[in-house]
Amino acid sequence: MTVRLNKYLADRKIASRREADVLIAEGKVLVNGKKAVIGQKVSDDDLVRLAPDATKAKTYLAYYKGRGIISHSPKKGEVDVATRLKKDFGLKDVFPVGRLDKDSEGLMIVTNDGLVTGELLEPGNEHEKEYEVEVDKAVTGRFLKKLAEGVDIEGYRTKPALTAPAGERRFRIVLTEGKKHQIRRMCAALGWQVKTLKRVRIANIKVGQLKPNQYRKIVGRELENFLKELSLK
């Protein structure tokens, strides 16, 4: 049985499909001693090797995205995370994984490892993301119970979540999915409006003491546990 070479490399956690295609186009992937070509198919009987200079050092950062900053694809007059990191810190060739609304703030994972994107954002993997939320009126036990059980948002019922009070008008919620504007839509469906929303954790990575537009490197045991949870180690 044969598969496309980019899928072969992705399945073996060597590179994402997109990264694999770049490596192939640059002539850095060899199949049976010959340079591979885009679209080539291979089997387990083929000898697939990377050129010595094909791999690059991986970077993993915990970054605090402030309110008003765009995660990806800014429009005229807007600033996105990658541009901010390049301008303020000289960080190049890294990208934020996933999205966080313009009006929301908090933790984003920034990396140059394309494998993280697929593993972290794949809905079936159900990695936890924790948020602190402030709403426009008092939080009730019934409100939190309904959020935890799942809320119908335009025909879709959200998956069970963990909730806990954090003040008169504040609560914490842990999701294992990431529908667009999900928390805001869940609250609105129950009659509450979100005033502020901050993501404080992704998997085992916590925002900690970071402030808007600050970052720290994810290293050591923290990185090891993160990659293990994503089945990348």
Q: What is the pLDDT of residues 8-31, one digit of tens each?
A: 998 888 888 988 999 999 999 999
Tokens of residue 83, six digits: 């541009």
139 vs 165: CA distance, rounded Å: 7
Active-site annotation holds for 103: no
**Cα→Cα distances 77→68, 69, 74, 106, 149, Å:** 11, 11, 8, 22, 40
Between strands 194-202 and 105-111, the pairing is parallel
CA distance 81 to 111: 12
pLDDT at position 13: 84
Catalytic residue among 101, 113, 136, 152: 101
Q: CB-based contacts of 144: which residues, under 8 Å, 6+ apart? A: 163, 164, 165, 171
- The whole-number pLDDT of residue 14 equals 87
Q: Backbone phi, then psi, for 109, in 5-degree steps?
A: -90, 130
User: Residue for token digits 């993301």?
Assistant: 129
Give the model's pLDDT for residue 196: 98
pLDDT at 226: 97
Contact predicate 29/47, CB 8 Å: no
How high is the pLDDT of residue 52? 80
Domains of the chain: 3-50 (3.10.290.10), 60-123+208-229 (3.30.70.580), 128-202 (3.30.70.1560)
Q: For the chain (length 233 residues), average pLDDT per consecutive 10?
A: 92 88 92 93 92 85 96 90 95 92 97 90 90 98 98 95 98 95 97 98 97 97 96 85
